[in-house]
Amino acid sequence: MVCLHGASGTNAFPTWRVESRTCIPNFVPFRVSFASECDALRKPSLMLLSSSSSSLHGGNQLKFSLNVGVSTWIHDFKHSSRKIIIRNNHPQNVDLPRFYSKKEKKPFPIPIVELRRAARERMKKLQGKPKTPTPPPRNGMLVKSLVLVAYEVLNARVTLINNLKKLMKVVPVLACKHCNEIHVGPTGHPFHSCRGFRAETRRGLHEWTSATVDDVFVPIEAYHLFDRLGRRISHEERFSIPRIPALIELCIQAGVDLPELHTKRRRKPVIRRGKNEIIDANEDDLSDELDPYAKLRKPILFEIPDSEITPPVGTEEVALLAIETFEAWELVRQGAERLMRKYAVRVCGYCPEVHVGYSGHKAQNCGAYKHQQRNGQHGWQKAVLDDLVPPRYVWHVPEDMLELQRELRNFYGQAPAVVELCVQGGLEVPEKYKPTMRLDIGIPTNLREAEMVV
């Protein structure tokens, strides 16, 4: 910021103040006194007299000139010193998501204060206006534009599981026997980060064994709802209602029809008589053969049994399989995020329990920290994408290294297990995941070089 102030006292002169948002190196604010004749400032040119910094602090006046008028100079200075912002969607290095212990509650995606403020503004806008019909899916109907997305997500999930089974035959994946940590590579990492059973006796070291697909692509289960607008599941019904993967339940509510999992489909919007009272509209005048979503359905893929899995042969085939696996992973993530914008998904703030629906179930099966004070009830809140499709982060092994060193832990990056598995299979590192993998950091060759790093 550049400040031009007038002299203080009885002989005070006019004050000129110019602010700039650009950073000027080695520049400090200074005080300048103008002559008392203000008319001279309006002239197109003024005489410039140089002065030393010591004379400025001694109180001597400084007269200087510009080739243009002062007003024109101020206008040009303001418009030529605008703030320049360089935006980068993928910065070089990004920290991993924060680890929350079991004694902490998950933060709300949107703070409660913001939700209440938005609700008040929404109520003010609706005052004096006629009520509009409830849009789908709140009225019981499906969002037609998302039916195809639901089928794509379900088929991408099956493709991802089948490809992971094949890829894990070539690229080894290890899992710890005592905790949920995994590692992609022939030998596990040497870090003392185990938090499982009797980890103190092993000084935090892991005991590695072969991993499964469920260790890489974590399955999150939820209750299957026959009617997504029906009453909430009670505590007594917790064993009579089937539990399926939450991603499949989301696809079913978005329009996927599975013969083994029945769900209620409405052809007319429901009638709301209150906040929680819903009445189905009369559909007797409609033909039984009328199906408004018949043209939107697609064939559904099936998972390949483990006994029929054939590993890929050759480097090129493995690389193509890795690319296809990564595309399926991205399609699952992006499609699930689109569905979650319209179809509500809830998660417990204390445990990883997920419920697909507007109101969470009433089953008192939460065993998280201080669940006795809540009588086992869940603390439902809006879920984010990582709650439904959790990316299990693993340590990234650089190309020129076979094993990780315990002393150089701070120089290594991490990536989701599916991405790391595809990268070691031959996939080029995606631009989206480079920040957390820390590829631009030079890794020292030994401990002595690491100690010299500032």
Residue 39 burial (C-beta neighbours within 10 Å; 0-12, 13-18, 19+): exposed
Rounded mean pLDDT of 412-417? Answer: 94
Q: What percentage of the chain carries pLDDT values higher than 90?
A: 59
Among 10-24, 90-104, 256-270, the least confident range: 10-24
Cα dihedral value 234, 238, 241, 246, nearest 10 = 100
Rounded mean pLDDT of 271-295? Answer: 82
Judged against a pLDDT cut of 50, whether residue 398 lies above it is answered with yes
Cα dihedral value 228, 234, 240, 242, nearest 10 = 40
pLDDT of residue 73: 42
Rank 21-25, 296-300, 328-332, 447-451 by mean pLDDT and report only the highest. Answer: 328-332
State how beta strands 354-356 and 221-223 pair. Answer: unpaired
Q: How far, in Å, CA of 227 to CA of 211, rounded?
A: 37
Judged against a pLDDT cut of 70, whether residue 67 lies above it is answered with no
- Confidence tier at 90 by pLDDT (50, 70, 90): low
Among 114-118, 236-240, 398-402, the least confident range: 398-402
pLDDT tens digits for 345-357? 999 999 999 999 9
pLDDT of residue 61: 42
Rounded mean pLDDT of 381-400? Answer: 93
pLDDT tens digits for 183-201? 999 999 999 999 899 999 9
Rounded mean pLDDT of 100-126? Answer: 91
**Number of residues that make up the chain:** 454
Rounded mean pLDDT of 135-139? Answer: 92
CB-CB contact of 301 with 157 (8 Å): no
Judged against a pLDDT cut of 70, whether residue 361 lies above it is answered with yes
Q: How far, in Å, CA of 176 to CA of 266, rounded?
A: 47
pLDDT tens digits for 144-173? 999 999 999 999 999 999 999 999 999 999
pLDDT of residue 308: 94
Residues 6+ apart with CB under 8 A from 315: 426
pLDDT of residue 3: 46
- Confidence tier at 84 by pLDDT (50, 70, 90): low
Q: How far, in Å, CA of 16 to CA of 342, rounded?
A: 55
Q: How far, in Å, CA of 391 to CA of 336, rounded?
A: 13
pLDDT of residue 287: 79
Among 91-105, 295-309, 409-423, the least confident range: 91-105
Rounded mean pLDDT of 125-132? Answer: 89
- Confidence tier at 323 by pLDDT (50, 70, 90): very high
pTM across the whole model = 0.78
pLDDT tens digits for 420-447? 999 999 999 999 999 899 887 788 877 7
- Sign of the dihedral through C-alpha 196, 199, 202, 204: positive
Rounded mean pLDDT of 203-218? Answer: 95
**Mean pLDDT across the chain:** 82
Rank 33-37, 48-52, 306-310, 330-334 by mean pLDDT and report only the highest. Answer: 330-334
Question: Hey, which bits of 207-259 come out as E strands?
Answer: 208-210, 221-223, 243-245
